[in-house]
Every structure is written in structure tokens, then in C-alpha cells.
Chain A
Amino acid sequence: MKHKILKYYFCLLVITISSCTDFIAEKDLQPEWEVIESNRIVLHYRSPGFSNEASPTIDEAYFILHNQELYYRAVCDSINRDYSDRVLIYLFNSDEADERTGTASGGHSIPKLNAFYFSFFHHPREYTDKYGVEKPFLGAHELVHVITHQTLGYPGTRLMSEGYANWLDGSYARYDIPDIIISYRNNNPEKIMNPDELLNDTDRDESVYYPNAGLFTGFLVNTYGIENINRLFNCGRGDLISDFENICYDSWVDMTEKYSAYIEDL
């Protein structure tokens, strides 16, 4: 009898486990896109009236397309890599973005498929990014993820992955990264992260981690050269310090002191 009960429990367990795929992933194919292309970018966006929130107008769509072309060239030049595959951008309207992509503002990338997803909405705050683009709808952050992963290989640490994206985008939440760090230094010094923390304490809130990672990566590139820092992009957390010292001919401790002085001088 006990044997029989165990068998039925087993049966129930298998049924539960096998139905778990619905809790893991479900198909959400979204074929309704307007598509415009340039040399390096394919922009998918919603047609007017698609949802309750605004879709990009055709002028706004071309504005985004041209800006992303600009960022594409700037990123390739900055990391000294040639890249020519087209990047696919999917712009979701703000009222559907959270359900479709998991984030109501911002987005994420799938570098392996040369794609990223972003939420489209009109920002209330005026802002001009480091490339001189006024009021960009989306910056270079996700594009950097695609290009760096495809030209340098996959990042071994969150530091390198988000460091490059924030350095090359230059902003977080439409504030310039140096200004954010200056504000933290002056008003919230506990939000300044040193290199050890950037390498190991990767669960810090995004508003703290991203600007710190971006500033630090920019410092490394300016101090040690882009090719040396590119070589650190794939290093795992356990190897990054030793590889840094071998590649950049400087000790991690000395570099940390230099970085600390750099922040003080900002």
C-alpha cells in the first residue's frame, strides 16, 4: 500500500515538474512592427495607435536611428574594433514594456542575437549626452553591450560588462556620470565604490554600481590604454587582478590609490 502511494506521489511530481516550463518561459511572439533600417541599425517600433501610450512618430524613429548610428561608430572607435553587423533594436511602448521585457524604463540586450529591447517614452527632463545629442530617447548603453560582446567576447565580470556600457554611454538616468560621482563624493561618500568593491560587491543598487563602474572603466582606459583594458574584458573575477597586474604593469594596490586620487580631483 505504501509502495502504491509512493508511486502516485511520483506520478504527481512528474506532472508538476513537467508543467513547470510554463513557469519558466512562454512564447510571446510580437510580429507587429514598423521597421526602418540604416547601414548598421534595424529599428523596430510600434505603429501609431498601437497601444494607449505614444508610439514614436516617423521623425522620432529616424532621430533614434541616426543617433544609434552615431553611437555605433563612436563605440567601435573607442574600443578600437571593427564591427559591421547590424544591430536589431525593438522599441516597446511604455505601457507594454514592463510586461514584455521586464522593465518599464530602460531595456536589456541579447548580444548573441545582435539585439536589444527598450522602452520608448518621452523624458520630461532636458538632457544632452556626451556625443552632443539633445534629448536622446535612448543612449548607447545597450548598443555597447552588443558591440563589446561581439567584438571582444563575453565579459567575465559584471565590472567589465557594465563598466564599458556606462563609460561609453557617459550617463545614468540622464545625468552625466562624473557629476553623479561628484555628488556621491560630496554628499554620500558611502556610495563611492573602490576597485575591490566594484569587482566583488556586484549586488549594489544599479544607481550606485553603474556610475561607479563607468567612471572606473574610463579611468582604466585613459591610464592604461584601451587595448590593455580590452584584454581584461573576458577575465573572470578570480583572475582579473593578477591579469591586470601582468598586462598593465602596475599593482592593483597602486592603481587603487591612483583611482582614489582621481576621484578626489574630479
Chain B
Amino acid sequence: MVNGQELSADSSLIRFKTGFSEYMSYSQVKRSFPMNMGYPLLYARTASLGVEYMRQGKKAGHIFNGEIFIPSALNSDNGTGSDFLLQEEGSYWFRSDAGYRMRMSLMRTGDLRIYHGIATGMLFEQRKLNYQSSDSEITTDLNIYLGPSLQAVFTVNEDWQLSGGFDALFYLPYLNYGKISKMDMSANEFYSTSYHGFYYQTSFSFSVRYRRLMLTLIKNDMAGYASQQYGFDKEGMVHFKLDRICSVKLSLEL
């Protein structure tokens, strides 16, 4: 996620990040729009590491970023704090992301600057549900995303800067690949198929930067479904996402 940095042309910077995130995957209690996200839900808490390289060109800034979440145990909540679904051991969630962002100045007024641009990248996500019977389901997604991006940066003074931004990212079935496998309690695979996801993701962020340190809060929502065939037909749907990831990240600029 890009956050406030004014660079002169042909200059660059590198930023290392560490963070803590909470992943929540909700059930589709109501499936017609607008959908209701509810119980039972799956959740995980994990740390992440990331790096960002930013280079400012004459007209546009180019930001390359990579992030990896530490694989974490997955639990469920039925609505009253009980986990009737999963065994904590063997259930996990993992995610990593490599992205590129191009940003250009949209407008400037006083100390407020607004940027616009595009974001694209590749997301890898894997989740294993190890049910209490020891039956299990693994889903693995490799998705390409693309979408517009907007950022506002307010410079308080030489040391302090506030910024906020959001991305609207589209994952089209023709650019995505996933695989789902179901195993019985003896770990014999009895069902497996590929799928192609149609997802929509929004990402809101707010950052406070003090000199080389930056604290960022991010809310990342993702909704959609995946079917066995390419396209948007829901027949043969094998997977869905109604996910929210809330993160807090600390960055250090070199």
C-alpha cells in the first residue's frame, strides 16, 4: 500500500514493513445483494513481513511491493464463541502478495496532495479447513488483480505526514486459477477440481508518518465466488470469499 512520500524525480526509496493482521472469513447468511455476512465465521491472527521499493519518474511514481503472511492457525466461531467446525491443529491460512502500483499527481492544494493511479499484482492464498471429523478441504488461489487507486497525502510539517488511500481491485475469472481438494479422515482425496475466481476487493488505509517511521491501519475486504468453468456462471460454484483482513503495520524507510 502506498503511503505518503514526496520524492524528487529519479529518486527512490526502500521501506521494510512488519505488521499484525486479523483475517475473518464470513458465511453468506443472505446471498442476495446486499449480502449479509455472518456466523459461522473463520478467523486467524498472524504477523506479516513486507518490502516496498518506490521510484519516482518524471511524471509517475512506480511502487513495487511484496508481502508475506506467516501461516497461522484457523479457528471458527458459531456466534456464541464455540468452534464446532474445525480442529485448530491442521487448519491454517496463508497469503502472500506481489504488486505494482503506478501513481500520478491528480491535484495539489496547499499541503494536501491527491494521487491517482492503477494497482496490479498477484495474490497467492491457501487455506486448509481441518474439520473436527478429520475430513479436510484445501483451497489454493493464484490470482491476478487490477484496479484503480487513489491516495491523499497531507504534510503537517517536515517530520509529520498523514495519508489515506483506497484501491478497488478486480479479480477476473480468466486471469485466476484455483484448486480445491477434499480429503476424508484417512487423508484420501475423494474430490478435486480447479476453479476460477471472480472477486472484488477494496482496501482502505490510513497512515501516520514520522520521519522514517510510518504506522498504517488497513481494512481489506474481498467478496466473490469461484466456479469450475471460466466465466461468471454460478453453476458449478465450489468456493466463495466474504473476507475481511484488518491490519496494523509499522514501516521503516531506509
Interface residues, chain A, with chain B CB atoms under 8 Å away? 7-8, 10-11, 13-15, 17-18, 20-31, 33, 35, 42, 44, 83-86, 88, 90, 99-102, 108, 110, 112-115, 117, 150-158, 202, 234, 236-237
Contact = CB atoms under 8 A, between A and B. Distances in A.
- Main secondary structure, interface of B, reads strand
Contacts of B147: 17
B200 A21 contact: yes
Contacts of B99: none
A79 to B, nearest CB: 13
Contacts of B193: 153-154, 234
Contact of B133 (A31, A83, A102): A83
B58 interface: no
A237 B235 contact: yes
Best-buried of B26, B29, B107, B200 by chain A (most CB within 10 Å)? B29
Given A21-B221, A33-B79, A153-B191, A26 B34 contact: yes
Contacts of B107: 7
**Chain A to chain B: the 3 pairs with minimum beta-carbon distance, closest first:** A153-B191, A28-B36, A17-B168
B30 A28 contact: yes
Interface stretch (B5-13, B37-45, B46-54, B171-179): B37-45
Contacts, number: 166
A18 B166 contact: yes
A234 B191 contact: yes
Contacts of A102: 30-32, 36
B33 A28 contact: no
Interface of B: 26-42, 76, 78-80, 82, 84-85, 106-107, 114, 116, 129, 131-133, 135, 137, 147-150, 166-168, 180, 182, 190-191, 193, 200, 202, 204, 221, 223, 228-229, 235-240, 242
- Main secondary structure, interface of A, reads mixed
Given A44-B79, A112-B129, A112-B137, A100 B150 contact: no
A24 B228 contact: no
Contacts of B166: 14, 18
Contact of B190 (A8, A153, A158): A153
13 contacts: A14-B166, A17-B147, A21-B223, A27-B37, A29-B39, A44-B79, A85-B85, A100-B38, A117-B29, A154-B238, A234-B193, A236-B228, A237-B235
B147 to A, nearest CB: 8
